Chains A and B, each alone.
Chain A
Amino acid sequence: MNDKIYKVILFIAALIMPIVCGGVVYALVTDAYDAFEHFGFFKFLTSSDWSYTEGAEQYGALPFITGTLMTTLLALVFCIPFSLPVALFVGEYFKGTKVAAVLSTVTDLLAGIPSIIYGLWGFYTLRPIIMALNISEQGSGVLTASLVLAIMIIPYAASLSAEFIKMVPNDLKEGAYSLGATRAEVVRKVIFPVAGSGIFSSYVLAIGRALGETMTVTMLIGNTNNIPNSITSTGNSMASIIANQFGEADDLRLSSLIAIGLILFLITAIINMVGKIMIKRARIS
Chain B
Amino acid sequence: MKKILSSVMTLIFALAMVSCGGNANSGAREAQELSGAGATFPLPFYNVVFEEFAQVNGDAVAYGGIGSGGGVRNLRDKIVDFAGSDAFLSEKEMADMNPVIHIPTCMGAVVLAYNLEGVNELKLSGEVIADIFAGEIKMWNDARLAALNPGVTLPAEAIIPVFRSDGSGTTFVFTDYLTKVSPMWASKYGAGKSVNFPSGQAAKGNPGVAGVIKQTKNAIGYVGSEYAFAQKIAYAQIQNQRGEFVEPSSESISAAASGEIPADTRCSITNADAAGAYPISTFTWMIIYKEQNYSDRSKDQAVATLDLLQYILSDEAQHITSEVHYAPLPAKAKELSMTNLKTVTFDGVTILQ
Cβ of A244 and Cβ of B200 under 8 Å apart?
no
A128 within 8 A of B: yes
User: How far is B190's CA from A54's CA once the two chains are assembled, in angstroms?
Assistant: 10
**A137-B160, A218-B204 known; A50-B218 Cβ under 8 A:** no
Chain B nearest CB from A74 CB (Å) reads 18
Kindly list chain A residues whose C-beta atoms are within 8 Å of the C-beta of B123: none
B54 to chain A, nearest CB (A): 26
Residues of chain B with a CB closer than 8 A to A124's CB: 215
Across-interface contacts of B194 in A (CB, < 8 A):
52, 245, 248
Q: Which residue of B lies closest to A249 (CB)?
A: B167
Least CB distance from B87 to A in Å reads 11
A52/B215 contact (C-beta < 8 A), A247-B69, A248-B166 known: no
Q: Is the CB of A244 within 8 A of B212?
A: no
B216 contacts A139, C-beta separation under 8 Å: yes
Q: Counting CB contacts under 8 A, is B219 at the interface? A: yes
A123 touches B (CB below 8 Å): yes
Residues in B with CB closer than 8 Å to A225 are 196
A248 touching B67 in the complex, CB below 8 Å, given contacts A131-B217, A138-B160, A139-B216: yes
Known: A131-B216, A225-B196. A244 touches B160 (CB 8 A): no
B325 close to A (CB within 8 Å): no
Residues on B with beta carbons closer than 8 Å to the beta carbon of A222: 201-202
> Which of B70, B73, B160, B202 is the one whose CB lies under 8 Å from A223?
B202
Q: Which residue of B lies closest to A137 (CB)?
A: B158
Interface SS, B side:
loop
Q: At the interface, yes or no: B168 with Cβ under 8 Å from chain A? A: yes
Whether A223 lies near B215 (C-beta < 8 A) is no
Q: Is the C-beta of A71 less than 8 angstroms from some C-beta in chain B?
A: no
CB distance from B199 to the nearest CB of A (A): 8
When the two chains form their complex, are residues B215 and A245 in contact, meaning their CB atoms are under 8 A apart? no
Q: Does B66 contact A (CB under 8 A)?
A: yes
CA distance A54 to B196 in the complex (A): 13
Contact B219 A247 (CB under 8 A): no
| Binary contact readout B204-226 vs A (1 if CB under 8 angstroms, 0 otherwise) | 10000001100111110000000
B165 within 8 A of A: yes
> How many angstroms from the CA of A123 to the CA of B73 in the assembled complex?
31
B193 located at the interface, meaning its Cβ lies under 8 Å from any Cβ of chain A in the complex: yes
Chain B residue contacts of A127, Cβ below 8 A: 215
* Any A CB within 8 A of the CB of B203: yes
Interface membership of A234, Cβ < 8 A: yes
Give complex CA distance A223, B200 in Å: 9
Cα of A225 to Cα of B201 in the assembled complex, Å: 10
- Cα separation A234 to B198 with both chains bound (whole Å): 12
**The one of B165, B192, B212 that contacts A245, using a Cβ cutoff of 8 Å:** B165
Interface: B195 (CB within 8 A): yes
Candidates B92, B157, B167, B216; contact of A248 at CB < 8 Å = B167
Nearest CB in chain A to that of B192: its residue: A52
Within 8 A of B (CB), among A87-115: none
Shortest distance from the beta carbon of A259 to any chain B beta carbon, whole Å:
17
Query: Given that A223-B202, A234-B201 are known contacts, is A128 also in contact with B166, CB under 8 Å in the complex?
Result: no
The interface residues of chain A lying within 8 Å CB-to-CB of B66 are 247
B165 and A250 contacting across the interface, CB-CB below 8 Å: no
Task: Provide the bound-state CA to CA distance between A262 and B200, in Å.
Answer: 29
* Cβ–Cβ contact A138 & B215, under 8 A: no
B residues less than 8 Å from A247 (CB atoms) = 66-67, 69-70, 166-167
B51 to chain A, nearest CB (A): 25
Flag if B218 contacts A137 (CB, 8 Å): yes
Q: A123-B215, A140-B212, A223-B202 are in contact. Are A244 and B166 (CB under 8 A)?
A: yes
CB 8 Å contact bits of A142-180 with B (1 = contact, 0 = none): 000000000000000000000000000000000000000
Q: Least Cβ distance of A267 to chain B in Å?
A: 22
Within 8 A of B (CB), among A213-229: 218, 222-225
Measured between alpha carbons, how far is A128 from B215 in the docked complex, in Å? 7
- Which residue, B69, B190, B192, B193, has most C-beta atoms of chain A within 10 A? B69
Is A285's CB within 8 Å of the partner chain B? no
Write the nearest CB–CB distance from A56 to chain B, whole angstroms. Answer: 11
A230 within 8 A of B: no
CA distance in complex: A236, B165 (Å):
10
**Residue A182 lies at the interface, judged by CB distance under 8 Å to chain B:** no
The answer to whether B215 touches A224 (Cβ under 8 A) is no
- Whether the pair A52, B195 counts as a contact (CB closer than 8 A) is yes
Given contacts A54-B192, A247-B66, contact A138 B201 (CB under 8 A): yes
User: A123 to B202, alpha carbons, bound, how many Å?
Assistant: 13
Minimal beta-carbon separation of B223 from chain A (angstroms)? 15
Contact at A244–B204, with CB atoms within 8 Å? yes
> Closest CB-CB distance, A115 to chain B, in whole Å?
15
Shortest Cβ distance from A181 into chain B, in angstroms?
Answer: 52
Write the B168-179 contact mask toward A (1 if CB under 8 angstroms, else 0): 100000000000
**Complex Cα spacing A127 to B216, Å:** 9
Do A138 and B204 contact each other (CB < 8 Å), given the known contacts A247-B70, A249-B167?
Answer: no
Of A53, A137, A218, which is within 8 A of B190 by CB? A53
Give 12 pairs: A residue, B residue, CB < 8 Å, sorted on A: A50-B196, A140-B212, A222-B201, A223-B165, A223-B204, A224-B201, A234-B200, A244-B166, A248-B69, A248-B166, A248-B193, A249-B167
Residues of A with Cβ closer than 8 Å to B?
A: 50-54, 123-124, 127-128, 131, 137-141, 218, 222-225, 234, 236, 243-245, 247-250
The 8 A-B residue pairs with the shortest CB-CB distance, nearest first, are A248-B167, A248-B69, A223-B165, A222-B201, A223-B202, A247-B70, A244-B165, A52-B194
* Given A123-B211, A247-B66, A249-B69, 17 additional A-B pairs, CB 8 A: A50-B196, A52-B192, A53-B190, A53-B192, A128-B215, A131-B216, A223-B201, A223-B204, A224-B200, A224-B201, A234-B200, A245-B165, A247-B67, A248-B73, A248-B166, A248-B168, A250-B73
